[in-house]
Amino acid sequence: MKKVIAIYPGSFDPLTNGHLDLIARGSKIFDQLIVAILRNPEKDPLFSLGERREMLEAMTAAWSNVRVDTFEGLMVDYAVRVKASAVLRGIRAISDYEYELQMALMNRKLEPGLETVFMMPAEQFSYISSRLVREIAQLGGSIQGLVPENVEQRLRAKLDPAIKLEQQLPKVKARKRS
């Protein structure tokens, strides 16, 4: 029987609890789900591609049919390369719909065999976005409950110079000793 492979593309800068909710839902209906992080040389992300991959891998390790990958260029070309027949995207509110519809129709024009499947995250995640999480964290607000704990710690470490220094100190001391 044909296995349905789906990709869940995005920037994931950073991964949020809304993304994780969608991954959980997607893993239930697709045989294989590939979380595909866009490598976009034009954007200046908060987290490097490697950091985003690490966080996603850590948080999706429990699902045996989910893997994490990165891609560059057209999403449809990547989808064909990995033999995906579906693209998973989340719709949180009507405001997402126009952009998502345009993208889905354009992707269908480029690759008619690829279906976009929209899923809704649980209501409690419907207001979370990576952009707002970054903004709140950068301005010193609490992001508890919006992102997984390991992402919260990494965000704090990245944005708080004191924590950054604390983490670097053991490395500096070790370097001096050797």
Catalytic residue annotation:
19, 43, 92, 130
Q: Which residue in the set 29, 50, 57, 74 belongs to the binding site for ligand PNS (CB under 6 A)?
A: 74
The DSSP letter of residue 123 is G
Q: Which residue in the set 107, 133, 137, 143 belongs to the binding site for ligand PNS (CB under 6 A)?
A: 107
- How remote is the C-alpha of 122 from its chain's centroid? 17
Residue 146 structure tokens? 């919006």
Least separation in angstroms between CB 74 and ligand PNS: 4
Least separation in angstroms between CB 144 and ligand PNS: 22
Task: Tell me the residue number closest to ligand PNS, measured at CB.
Answer: 10
- How remote is the C-alpha of 78 from its chain's centroid? 16
Q: 67 Cβ partners below 8 Å, 6+ apart? A: 32, 33, 34, 35, 60
Least separation in angstroms between CB 9 and ligand PNS: 4
Q: Which residue in the set 6, 7, 8, 10 belongs to the binding site for ligand PNS (CB under 6 A)?
A: 10
Note whether 26 binds ligand PNS by CB under 6 A.
no
Q: Give the residue with the Cβ less far from ligand PNS, 102 or 167.
A: 102
- Whole-angstrom CA distances from 137 to 39, 154, 160 are 23, 11, 10
The helix/strand/coil state of 119 is: strand
Strand partners, 32: 5
The helix/strand/coil state of 118 is: strand
Contact call for residues 14 and 154 (beta carbons, < 8 A):
yes
Q: Give the residue with the Cβ less far from ligand PNS, 103 or 120.
A: 103
Stretch that binds ligand PNS, among 6-14, 54-62, 141-149, 157-165 (CB under 6 A): 6-14
Note whether 9 binds ligand PNS by CB under 6 A.
yes
Residues of the shown chain interacting with ligand PNS in the complex, contacts defined by CB under 6 A: 9-11, 38, 74-75, 103, 106-107
